[in-house]
Structures are given as structure tokens and as C-alpha cells.
Structure 1
């Protein structure tokens, strides 16, 4: 099941900064991050206004962000409607969007610290790596129910999953989800801004609607055991299948990749290897064509 989440990570929210007219700094990296989070995730119009007012001199008097109210809730509601349809449950799109809007407002993604350093690619510029933490629904107990719903033909099994997920999202325990967003400043260090919000929005949407990742877990359990790490074994299986179709003369590269990953399992934990292969996946997927589907 594909979801539209990754394609809706706020890439249309930005204007390009006009460096020459930057104003003296008014917001710290932490303050800037908090305003971005409130504006993009919580539909906080006041935060968007504060941020845009602070950055207007740097953006030639124009707004730097133009978030569409409800956009993130819609990005979450669409895959959930697909899940409900597969489960044979009639969904209410408006209710789903309202449920996710409430979850996003409660996310409370806030900066915890920042580290400022030189931008090695641009002279006389700085970057700030802002660490943040969000409070999101803990779906750990829901995951097994999702897996069971995929392997059962019983309507009751699927209903248990959908009911448990909805309850967890609305009133269940929370867990901290952390990440880091990079902010940039102009040559005269007049302000901080971001040109890509994937590192902020991605962890939040992924934590609230992890259906694609859960499906991969199910598929990974069936993959041939090469490394013994399901996420890595699935990646190798899918990559080998694709390369065999589009570039069979390069299959030796997949073999080399498998040997490298097997070697790493000798010095890295299963959790570290899982993260390693999750990081490798986007790079591999960039090579996959429609023939690999």
C-alpha cells in the first residue's frame, strides 16, 4: 500500500530568500524552529504571522511560508481511508481529518537545543542544527493488531485493529519522537530559515501513520535470510529483483552490497543495522524504475 505522505512534505510552502535585504536577527534558531512547527503542524496562524513578520525584510516583504490549513491532516487522512477500505470499514473523511488535526495540534514539536557551526559549502555563512522532540501517540500495541488484520479474513480482527488505532491516536499514551532540523542563515547572519521541512514533518507523519513501514515489516519477515536483519533482507531482495530486470549485468553490485551488510552485522547491533538499511532504502529506490513495480 502506497501512501501520499512523502510527497506532501511542505515543499510548496516556501519562497526563496533574498539574501541582500536580510534584517538583523530577531529570532534564535530555537524560536524559529518552534514557529515553523506551530505553523506547519498545528495550523497556528499566529505563529505563521509572527514568523513571516520576522522574515519579511529577508524575503523582500513577502511571506516566507504559506501553509495551507489542514494540509497535513489531509495527508494523514488519505492513507487511513485506504486502510479502512481494505479492512471493509466505511470511513468518514471529515472525521478522519479532524482526528488527525487534533493529533497534530497535540504533537507539540519543540526545539530542545541547537548547535551553530560554519557552513562548509558557503563562505561566511552559518548553519544551525536544531534538535527537537515531539509528543506523539504510542502505537506500539497497535502494530501487532495491524499485522494480524493482514493475515485474517475475519472482520472482527480488522475491526479490533481500526478501533485500537483510533483509540490510541485520540486518547492513548504518548511517546517522545526526536529529530534534527537544519536551519540556514544569510551571509550577514541576519536570520534563520529552512528550505526543506522533511526532517520535521517526516518523523511526525511517519509516527502517526506508519502503515507503509508496518507493511514493509510484514514483507521483511518473508524475505530470504541473508543478513538476519529483516529490514536489510527485504531491501536486498527488492533491490536484487529490480536490478535483475533493468540491469542484469550489474547484479554483482547487489552481491557486493549483501556481503558488505553481512560484514556489518558482525560489529553492529540489529537496531543499528535496521537504521542503516532504512537509510540505504531511499538511495536504492532512486534507481528503481517502473519495471521494478
Structure 2
């Protein structure tokens, strides 16, 4: 009874007093996504959830609880390393640099950057730990020692800048802004903070003759050359530096990031062929790449 009376006294229609939250603007949608992903900001979570609930498919709001990237970042670390990591992750943030809407206002693009610690200085310690593991010298104490070194480097690391682009689209007519790219941002930031897969590639690529300067491409090229030398020595690709030139052109045309993804995908797709039993169909498939 009190709520209708207050609405009348204030001269505010009851419908307006109880109206559902409106969908966020594109700029505010990006900001809310970024604060949830990097900081698990409760206010941003509530705001973003309410915005997404304005869509016809209201269950889209469930993605908000899956966005935070760093919940388990300190898992496996003992004190004081765990506290060091928890403290430094609070400094990570993302800001929009350019926002553009389509003429129909149904699609938008946000160019942005994230500021996060540069952990590249930990690569040497990681390589040493991997070498000890391969030689059979690795122990639980050795693994703990690396984690402590990594935490110390993370604590004192200078900031680095991660630049990306996110495409947004409206969910329904004049509905909220949603983005698949933002849903993947947390994983990408984790790979920047814990680039162990990329470091494994780099270590593996050190044993091959580098050509492109991109570990994933060097590994792909090395596998292709060995495959061709063994099974298809008369291929035109084996003449001079033809195969190397093709990879180098890919790198130039795609740029480092896309070239890395292309090379890794090609390598993974053909790994079984290059390393296992071979058939004419396999040879034709690799030639077609």
C-alpha cells in the first residue's frame, strides 16, 4: 500500500516507478563486460545482468556468471605467492579506444586495450624447469621453486598493453548489446598471464631451423619440410626455398597474430599425418595446404 501512495505523492506514475532497467548503451556494455571479466565487479555484474535480461531470450544473462577470468589464477600457489598474484590481478583493466556503430545501429565495434603484467621475464625460469623435468631431475620442490619465481616476477613486472577488437550485436529489436568476442577475452588474458603453451612452442621451435621468427610457423614449416623430404622429394615445393617463401608470405599478409593462429591450426590438423603412417591421400591433403 505504501508504494502506490508514495508514487502518487511524488507525482510519478506507478509503472515508471517499477519499470525494468533499460538496456545499456554500447559504451556502457563494453565497460560492464570489461569490469566483470577483469575485476569480478559486483555492481557491473548486476548492471550487465539487468541489461541482458531486457532481451527476449532472457537466459542470455546467465553468461555474466561465467565471465570473470581470474577466479582460479592463484590456484596451486602457496603463500605468499598466492597473495602476490591476487593483489597484482586487481591492477588489470581494459579501456575502450574507439567505438563505432553500424548505420542500422544493430552492430557495433569496440577497439580497446587491456593493461596487464608482462611476465615474459619468467620464460628463462620456465625453460630451466622444463629442462630439469625432461632430464628426470624435476621434483615437487623444483616445481614450487618455479611457481615462486613466477609470482615474484608477476609482482614486479612492468605493464604491457594487449590490444584487441570486439564486435557487438543487439539481441532482438533495440535489445541489449552482446558480444562473443568479450566472452572469449578472459581466456585470452589468461594466456597472456600464463603463456605456458606458447612457451612450450618456443622451446620446441628452438631445436629447428627458424625461418619465420614465429615459433608456431617454424614448427609447421619444419614438419612440412621433413614430410616432403621423406615422402615427396620431387615436389616443386622442395625446390630452393619455395616452401619457406610461401610461409614467409603468409606471415607478411596475415600479420604475426593471425599467422601464428593459421600455422598452429595447420600444424595441429596435419600432426597425425606428418608423424604417423602415410598414404597417397595424406600426401594430397598436405599438398593442398
Shorter-chain TM range is 0.5 to 0.7
The 3-state SS of whatever aligns with 2:63 is coil
Distance in 2 between residues matched to 1:188 and 1:258, nearest whole Å: 50
Post-superposition Cα deviations, 1:58-96, rounded to whole Å, max 9, x if no partner, equal 14444342415976432x456xx5xxxxxxxxx54x977
Q: What TM-score do the two structures reach when normalised by structure 2? A: 0.65
Cα distance, 1:24–1:237 mapped onto 2, change above 3 Å: farther
Match of 2:53 in 1: 56
The reply on whether 1:106 has 2:91 as its aligned counterpart is: yes
Q: What TM-score do the two structures reach when normalised by structure 1? A: 0.64
Give 1:140's match in structure 2, choosing from 92, 115, 120: 120
Distance in 2 between residues matched to 1:238 and 1:195, nearest whole Å: 34
Higher relative contact order (CA 8 A, sep 6+): 1
Give 1:236's match in structure 2, choosing from 213, 218, 221: 221
The 3-state SS of whatever aligns with 1:109 is strand
The 3-state SS of whatever aligns with 1:190 is coil
Distance in 1 between residues matched to 2:80 and 2:227, nearest whole Å: 39
The reply on whether 1:287 has 2:269 as its aligned counterpart is: yes
| Superposition pairs of residues 125-274 of structure 1, within 5 angstroms | 126-152=106-132, 161-186=146-171, 188-197=173-182, 199-227=184-212, 230-238=215-223, 258-263=244-249, 268=252, 274=256
Distance in 1 between residues matched to 2:170 and 2:68, nearest whole Å: 29
Number of corresponding residues: 246
Deviation of the 1:234 alpha carbon: 1.1
Is contact 2:98-2:111 (8 Å) kept? yes
Deviation of the 1:193 alpha carbon: 0.7
Deviation of the 1:50 alpha carbon: 0.4
Is contact 1:110-1:133 (8 Å) kept? yes
The 3-state SS of whatever aligns with 2:31 is helix
The 3-state SS of whatever aligns with 2:147 is helix
Post-superposition Cα deviations, 1:257-289, rounded to whole Å, max 9, x if no partner, equal 644124567xx49xx864353121353256247
Unaligned runs of 5+ in 1: 1-22, 82-90, 119-123
| Superposition pairs of residues 72-111 of structure 1, within 5 angstroms | 72-74=70-72, 76-77=73-74, 81=76, 91-92=77-78, 100-111=85-96
Match of 2:63 in 1: 65
The 3-state SS of whatever aligns with 2:206 is helix
Q: Which protein has the larger Cα radius of gyration, Structure 1 or Structure 2? A: 2
The reply on whether 1:42 has 2:39 as its aligned counterpart is: yes
The reply on whether 1:278 has 2:260 as its aligned counterpart is: yes
Distance in 2 between residues matched to 1:163 and 1:197, nearest whole Å: 31
Distance in 2 between residues matched to 1:25 and 1:252, nearest whole Å: 63
Deviation of the 1:35 alpha carbon: 0.9
Is contact 1:223-1:230 (8 Å) kept? no
The 3-state SS of whatever aligns with 1:222 is coil
RMSD over equivalenced CA pairs, Å: 4.2
Deviation of the 1:175 alpha carbon: 2.0
